[in-house]
Chain A
Amino acid sequence: MTTVQERIDLLNKLGLDAQNKAALGQVLGTGDIGQATEKADGGLKATIRIRPDKISWDPSILVMPHGGDIELELINDDMNTHCALLPSNGDRKFIWLVNHSRGRATLNLDGPGYYWYSSPTGNDEGRGLTGAIVVLGDVPPEARLDRPDQPRP
């Protein structure tokens, strides 16, 4: 059994969080975690990068404090070409990211829940370019059940 801090060390020690160490790629969900920031108008924004030879998103788990619109800056610092297919209500958003490029995406997501996104090209998805966007919060009060508060796990 490990503690939370030990998890980071153990991931590194075992090579689960890097390319071509323990497994062939970086195991999903082992990368960095970041939080979106809230703008003055209530909208959200965040930056997601692909660092050289990492073949993973940084952060690989992005947390939104609530549902709604988010503006993403997508930066490919890698020496290879990637892309992004991102969840959004209406249609998924696609952007091509050639070597050393920077683009933008505006997403609309419901909360709560989490969504996977990826670079759906070549070997990217399995190697580690599959990330998650986590949306916090609750559904609107009018959508909740009329019943006493119930125990949760």
Chain B
Amino acid sequence: MTVEYVDAGEAIDQGTLSGKVAGGDVAPAVVHGVNHERILNAQAEPQNWLTYYGAYNGQRYSPLDQINTDNVKRIGPAWVFQAGMTGLIAGASTYSFEAAPIVVDGVMFLSGWDGWVWALDAKTGTEIWRYKHAVPFDVSLCCGNVNRGVAVAAGKVYVVTANAHVLALDATTGERVWDKTYGDVRAGESATVAPLVVKDKIIVGSSGGEFGVRGHLDAFDLETGEHQWRCYTVPKPGEPGSETWPADGEAWARGGANCWVTGTFDPETNLLYVGTGNPAPDFDGGVREGDNLYTDSIIAVDVDTGQIRWHYQCTPHDVWDYDSIGECILFESDGRKLLGHFDKNGYFFVVDRTDGALVQITPFVDRIDWGAITRDGTVTPRRYPDKEGDPVHFWPGPAGAKEWTHAAYSPKTGLFYVPVQDVGATATRRRREFRESIPYWGAGVQVDLDDMAGSISAFDAKGDEQWRWRNELPMCASVLATGGDLVFAGEPSGEFNALDARTGELLWQFQCGSGHHSSPTTYLVDGRQYVAVPVGWGGWAEGFLPGMLGAGHGSALITFALPET
């Protein structure tokens, strides 16, 4: 006798099983009015954090001052959002919570690892909606299951996925509006960058520099997702810059220079300022003789056409993995339009952002022995993997004196605040044949497990160090500067700190339970200032702090505020 099956029905969205109340899964239409003009004037609405760096200038500065040096010792957790991790995900050992929370009129938009995007009530932490992109387990991660944040405009939330898609989600419901593929996962490409909205475009860059890809930026139409332009950061033979690659062979085709960190934008020059990644193979320069443009460079890109207008290369012919993806902070000094950039190679570059002319260069970490750069910008390599099988130790290691995590600049104090990593490494050149989708380092690499240090260091625009807050461990998270004369900075061991922006004195500290590798932001709702920090140790820890590879991973967003009166 045949027994009829019980009808189990249709599978449902897992998010419906998360305690949501009817009607609570639709966000107010706060993003419908966000456009280029509002982002351009983001500093006029300090209650919001409208774009990745808070403003196009990349300063990561908020004028909010409700929380200040006098009262910061009284702040405490206001709410915590925890996502957790279930199932088997790509690079489960490398996931990390790296985002910069975006806030618009009381709604927070946040990305996580493995394709997660959330809209939260910024006052209570209650989840409004979630979007989960299905990320292949076998995607080539470069270099962890991470995502650095979303962009918002035109009623949409924009995010990239580890399998190199860029998505537009409806900001009220989280439903997908359009979905474009802009990288080839079979070539080892991926995506981690927080998109940037400029005019009617969404700008994204590719990841994959450790797999021998050819880096690029792409622009898509905000509304339709139609592709607008692609800017390759390694020239083809015959194009400007191609003379810096071997004339024979295909080294250029595997050259790297990925733009895996968000750029900044100046409306007066109409230029995007973007840092490019390392050349490939990272440590074997013998297969790619020449300066290898535009790797390890600051490039200025016409936002309308995607054309590179000028460049400044921080580490020509890099063989230390010194990406120049660090942020390009735009500021003015003595009437000049300048750009400040803390590079992985240990030097703080200031260039004229109208033409890329070098203004000054200063070391910002104590130990630099890979080479030296003189004040006129002349680079002299000293210690590098050259002979096959010969180990070479150098400082800084491949994670750099500052990783991708961001410095901040306070126009109020005139100081830059930089998270410093003083860690060395040993690389042994091991030449290998290129194979598409296989890591292409050209060396065995071991980052030091001891003899390391870190700091938050404050520099003025002339490159003079004004103060230093020292830490036993390298500092691996973005800092945030505020109008309350505070600098917020998280530690790998979980402490979240508030420093006096003028002296570096530690004024407040809270143990968050997991290491920091994200970009905290601040905002105001109903007259109350919040500081929000994603907490979740992980990522490419073997590269920047292997001594903390055994530390617990977290997955919490914690917000802090003064007590309600």
Contact = CB atoms under 8 A, between A and B. Distances in A.
Interface string B140-181: 000000000000000000000001110000000001100111
A152 B10 contact: no
Q: How large is the interface on B (under 10, 10 to 19, 20 to 34, 35 or more residues)?
A: 35 or more
Contacts of B435: 150-153
A53 interface: no
A94 B17 contact: yes
Interface in B1-52: 3, 5-15, 17
Given A139-B185, A145-B214, A152-B437, A102 B163 contact: no
Interface in A121-153: 125, 130, 132, 135, 138-140, 142-148, 150-153
B163 A113 contact: yes
B232 interface: yes
B14 A139 contact: no
Nearest to A105: B11
A55 interface: no
Contact of B12 (A76, A93, A114, A143): A93
Point out which of B8, B137, B179, B186 has the most chain A C-beta atoms below 10 A from its C-beta.
B8
B213 to A, nearest CB: 6
Q: Which 4 A-B pairs have the closest CB atoms?
A: A113-B136, A103-B8, A105-B11, A147-B253
B8 A74 contact: yes
Interface of B: 3, 5-15, 17, 86-88, 130-139, 163-165, 175-176, 179-187, 189, 212-214, 216, 227, 232, 236, 250, 253-254, 433-438
A46 to B, nearest CB: 14
A88 B3 contact: no
Contact of B9 (A87, A103, A143, A152): A103
Contacts of B5: 75, 100-102
Point out which of A97, A100, A145 has the most chain B C-beta atoms below 10 A from its C-beta.
A145
Nearest to A117: B87
A21 interface: no
A91 B88 contact: no
Contacts of A87: 134
A86 B11 contact: yes
A34 to B, nearest CB: 18
B395 to A, nearest CB: 34
A90 B15 CA distance: 10
Nearest to B132: A91
A92 interface: yes
A153 B183 CA distance: 20
B185 A150 contact: no
Given A112-B186, A113-B139, A90 B176 contact: yes
A113 B138 CA distance: 6
Interface string A76-101: 10000000111111111111111111
Given A90-B176, A146-B236, A151-B435, A139 B183 contact: yes
B175 A102 contact: no
Contacts of B437: 152-153
B14 A92 contact: yes
A120 interface: yes
A153 B276 CA distance: 27
A146 B12 CA distance: 40
A76 B17 CA distance: 22
Interface of A: 74-76, 84-110, 112-118, 120, 125, 130, 132, 135, 138-140, 142-148, 150-153
A102 B17 CA distance: 21
A87 to B, nearest CB: 4
A150 B185 CA distance: 14
A72 B180 CA distance: 25
A99 B135 CA distance: 31
Nearest to B12: A94
B207 to A, nearest CB: 13
Nearest to A137: B186
A150 B236 contact: no
B10 A104 contact: yes
Given A90-B131, A92-B132, A150-B253, A98 B6 contact: yes
A114 B8 contact: no
Nearest to A88: B134
A105 B10 contact: yes
Given A94-B17, A146-B232, A146-B236, A112 B6 contact: no
Given A91-B14, A143-B164, 4 more contacts: A85-B87, A95-B10, A104-B10, A148-B253
Contacts of A88: 134
Given A110-B163, A114-B137, A116-B87, A144 B184 contact: yes
A153 B185 contact: no
Contacts of A115: 134-137
Given A146-B232, A150-B253, A151-B436, A113 B185 contact: yes
A85 B88 contact: no
A101 B8 contact: yes
Contacts of B135: 115
Contacts of A144: 184, 187
A105 to B, nearest CB: 4
B132 A90 contact: yes
A74 B12 CA distance: 13
B272 to A, nearest CB: 20
B136 A112 contact: yes
Nearest to B139: A113
B3 A140 contact: no
Contacts of B7: 101-103
Contacts of B180: 143
B515 to A, nearest CB: 27
A139 B181 CA distance: 7
A91 B460 CA distance: 47
B181 A140 contact: yes
Contacts of B254: 147, 150
A95 B11 contact: yes
Point out which of B5, B216, B438 has the most chain A C-beta atoms below 10 A from its C-beta.
B5
Contacts of B137: 113-116, 132
A86 B14 CA distance: 9
Given A110-B134, A150-B187, A143 B181 contact: yes
A90 B13 contact: yes
A61 B163 CA distance: 21
A130 B88 contact: yes
Contacts of B17: 94
